[in-house]
Amino acid sequence: MIKKINIAPLHLNLISSRSQKPFVLPRVSGYDCYFGSKHTLSKKGMTPMSKTSIPSVTSRDSKGLKFLEVVSAAYNKAALTEDEAQRVNEARGLSDLIANHIAKHRHPIPPLLRRVGSVKIPAVDELVLTEQILQEANIGYAWPDFKRYFLGKKCPASVATSIACHNLEKDSLDAPILQEFGDKAEITMGQFIWLIRQQSHGQAGNLIINGYANIAYIKDEKGVLWAVNARWYSDRRCWRVFAYSVEHPSWWFAGFQVLSSD
């Protein structure tokens, strides 16, 4: 969903920075290549409108419970007596009718995440994340919350390991992604910066460079987990980094990439 805002004398059509599709921005000067200090952009993403539909089976329901509710409602609508309902239940073909209905409407549920590769990362020493480190990785813009919770803070060391890359197959909040990853969800800031440095000038590699988000779940110095993401900004030839609460109400779009421990 697109929201039009005006920043005199420029007129831009923007999408919330978390739930955005790629777009082109005018050139601006300074270290923050994405936005100068005078420009602001809403942190909130757009939450899809709710849909009204027949309730599905959930963890609180047994399989087929909704079907029984539908049948019961149909019997009540037809004003069947107990004897009439029993005769319908005992009639031939009912089980075949149900089986055919299941076969017709049963479709595989697409996965939330699809693994697309992995990358080996060497051991990374403990570091304090500084402006210089961001500049060396060609990170031209850091979102305020990224600066607040990570810049100038200690990042823990990590051993040599592999990071898995996954394509997000459908729009999702953080909670389902974290649930699917389990204890593999988290990587370190040092590993994340290392990955960006390998593609500091937007060259092809494990991170996607089409303007979509590369998402990583990273803990800050106090142990709070954040959804950190990096996007390549092709117009200004630099990376942008953001940090959001994992309880943020916006959805990540299908086509974004999510990183995890391998």
Which tens digit of pLDDT belongs to each residue from 199-210?
999 999 999 999
In a shared domain, residues 121 and 226 = yes
In a shared domain, residues 225 and 257 = yes
Report the predicted TM-score, pTM, of the whole model to 2 decimal places. 0.67
Q: Is residue 50 part of a domain?
A: no
Residue 13 has pLDDT above 80, yes or no: no
Q: What is the pLDDT of residues 123-173, one digit of tens each?
A: 999 999 999 999 999 999 999 999 999 999 999 999 999 999 999 999 999
Mean pLDDT of the chain: 81
Pairing verdict, β 139-142 and 238-245: parallel
Domain boundary among 74, 89, 105: 105
Residue 32 has pLDDT above 70, yes or no: no
Q: Is residue 136 part of a domain?
A: yes
In a shared domain, residues 164 and 184 = yes
Residue 12 has pLDDT above 90, yes or no: no
pLDDT category, 8, cuts 50, 70, 90?
very low
Residue whose C-alpha is closest to residue 235's, from 258, 218, 210: 210
In a shared domain, residues 140 and 83 = no
In a shared domain, residues 100 and 140 = no
Residue 16 exposed, middle or buried by CB count within 10 Å (0-12, 13-18, 19+): middle
In a shared domain, residues 190 and 138 = yes
Domain containing 101: what range? Answer: 65-105
In a shared domain, residues 223 and 251 = yes
Domain boundary among 73, 90, 105: 105
Q: Is residue 21 part of a domain?
A: no
Q: What is the pLDDT of residues 213-250, one digit of tens each?
A: 999 999 999 999 999 999 999 999 999 999 999 999 99
